[in-house]
Structure 1
């Protein structure tokens, strides 16, 4: 057993990936639906939704890499 005890890395990798996908979908759907139903959104809302999409992509890509490959190798 490693020095970190019973850390469940596969669970963290899956949850991180799905959280990233959820952030991406919320940002994309919010941007499309906001412009379709409410007209042009204010700049701060557009920026917020874009950042949510960007961080969703980064989270979905790096979470499995970090928790599925790097962290178990450091144990």
Structure 2
């Protein structure tokens, strides 16, 4: 019987979720603070904050599904 290395899925699921939440909060806070205090934000900063928001949503949503449900079932 082959021995497989067991991953700590719980830690990866929590870490991925909190990474997603952190990216989402940074994107929203940067956009709000940037427009409140420095009104004409450059286009690259708007793109950066928007990309942080969307990647935070995607990572925060799919990380618990992937590491908490899918990978333990197929191991």
- Asked if TM exceeds 0.5, the reply is yes
Aligned counterpart, 1:28: 28
- In structure 2, stretches of 5+ residues that fail to align are none
Deviation of the 1:39 alpha carbon: 1.2
Q: Note the residue ranges of structure 1 that are not aligned, 5 or more in a row.
A: none
Partner of 2:74: 74
1:60-71 aligned at under 5 Å gives the runs 60-71=60-71
Assess, with a 3 A threshold, how the Cα gap between structure 1 residues 4 and 62 changes in structure 2: closer, same or farther: farther
Counterpart of 1:9 in structure 2 is: 9
Number of residue pairs aligned between Structure 1 and Structure 2: 74
For the residues of structure 1 that align with 2:71 and 2:27, how far apart are their CA atoms?
A: 29
TM-score when scaled to structure 1? 0.92
Q: Deviations over 1:9-33 (max 9, x none)?
A: 0000000000000000000000000
Runs of 4 or more, structure 1, over 2 Å off, are none
Number of the residue aligned with 1:49: 49
Determine the C-alpha separation between the residues in 1 that align with 2:3 and 2:59: 26
